[in-house]
């Protein structure tokens, strides 16, 4: 059974070789390669940015900026992380820049996440009613989602990013560390603090 959970070395090597070849195509400026990258990653990048900004138009703009930056900077990609982590790092930086831009203009940004409650690994959105629920359950689910949005909007950006990457995007601690440019210990600390703050903000709301 243990062997069933471990990818064969040949398969891992094949994926690594395929990614290296793909990255080389990107570095050569091959248009088709960038089209593949956008097709493969734009949906999840948009989702990440929407959760950070709670604004679909802004998320679309930032998604475009993310891939433009990727196109402009692919020559600097050193392979210390995989291409997915690298793209997420660019997207996070674009969101941070926009957030600072808005802050300078005294506008707050909010976030909507399937966030975890307290120390639990269960996403908060998992506690909401299913789409097939009756009208009363749907109304309650809507109210709880609004409470989540309000609570998450009050988290600091550092905690918000960490919670999104771990509990929504499913990144490992190591991948989050690479994406945010911090160490694994800091990732775990921010995640614990972020979840705890959410729990405190949501007490009495859910």
pLDDT digits (tens, 9 = 90+) for 146-165: 777 677 778 888 998 998 89
**Under 8 Å between Cβ of 184 and 174:** yes
pLDDT per residue as tens, the chain (206 positions): 444 444 444 444 545 788 889 999 999 989 999 999 999 999 999 989 988 887 889 999 999 999 999 999 998 888 778 899 999 999 999 998 887 655 555 444 344 444 444 444 544 444 434 455 566 666 766 677 777 767 777 888 899 899 889 887 889 999 999 999 999 999 999 999 999 998 888 885 65
Same fold, 1-109 and 110-206: no
Provide the pLDDT for residue 108.
Answer: 45
Residue with tokens 């399937």: 114
The DSSP 8-state label assigned to residue 1 in this structure reads -
Provide the pLDDT for residue 182.
Answer: 95
Right CATH for 110-206 from 1.20.910.10, 3.40.50.1970, 1.10.10.10, 3.90.1310.10 = 1.10.10.10
The DSSP 8-state label assigned to residue 118 in this structure reads T
Alpha carbon distance 184, 116 (integer Å): 19
Alpha carbon distance 118, 48 (integer Å): 22
Alpha helical stretches, state H, the chain: 9-27, 31-53, 56-73, 83-104, 135-153, 157-163, 173-180, 184-202
What is the radius of gyration, based on Cα positions, of the chain?
Answer: 19
Q: How is domain 1-109 classified at the architecture level of CATH?
A: Orthogonal Bundle (1.10)
CB within 8 A of 121, min separation 6: which ones?
A: 167
Provide the pLDDT for residue 128.
Answer: 38
Query: What are the structural domain ranges in the chain?
Result: 1-109, 110-206
The DSSP 8-state label assigned to residue 204 in this structure reads T
Provide the pLDDT for residue 132.
Answer: 53
pLDDT digits (tens, 9 = 90+) for 39-64: 999 999 998 998 888 788 999 999 99
Half-sphere exposure of 98 (CA within 13 A, CB side): 23
Average pLDDT, the chain: 77
Which tokens go with 159?
């905690």
């Amino acid at each position: 059974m243990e062997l069933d959970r471990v990818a064969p070395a040949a398969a891992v090597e094949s994926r690594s070789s395929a990614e290296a070849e793909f990255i080389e195509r990107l570095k050569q400026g091959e248009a088709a390669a960038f089209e593949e990258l956008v097709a493969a990653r734009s949906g999840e990048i948009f989702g990440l940015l929407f959760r950070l900004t709670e604004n679909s138009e802004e998320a679309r703009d930032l998604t475009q900026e993310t891939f433009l930056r990727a196109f402009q900077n692919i020559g600097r990609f050193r392979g210390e992380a995989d291409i997915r982590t690298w793209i997420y790092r660019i997207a996070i930086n674009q969101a941070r820049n926009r957030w600072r831009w808005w802050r300078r203009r005294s506008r707050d940004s909010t976030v909507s996440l399937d966030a975890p409650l307290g120390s639990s690994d269960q996403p908060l959105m998992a506690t909401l009613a299913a789409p097939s629920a009756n009208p009363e359950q749907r109304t309650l689910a809507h109210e709880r989602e609004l409470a989540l949005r309000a609570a998450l909007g009050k988290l600091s950006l550092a905690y918000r990013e960490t919670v999104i990457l771990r509990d929504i995007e499913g990144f490992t601690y190591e991948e989050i560390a690479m994406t945010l440019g911090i160490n694994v210990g800091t990732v775990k600390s921010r995640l614990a603090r972020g979840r705890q703050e959410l729990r405190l903000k949501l007490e009495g709301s859910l």
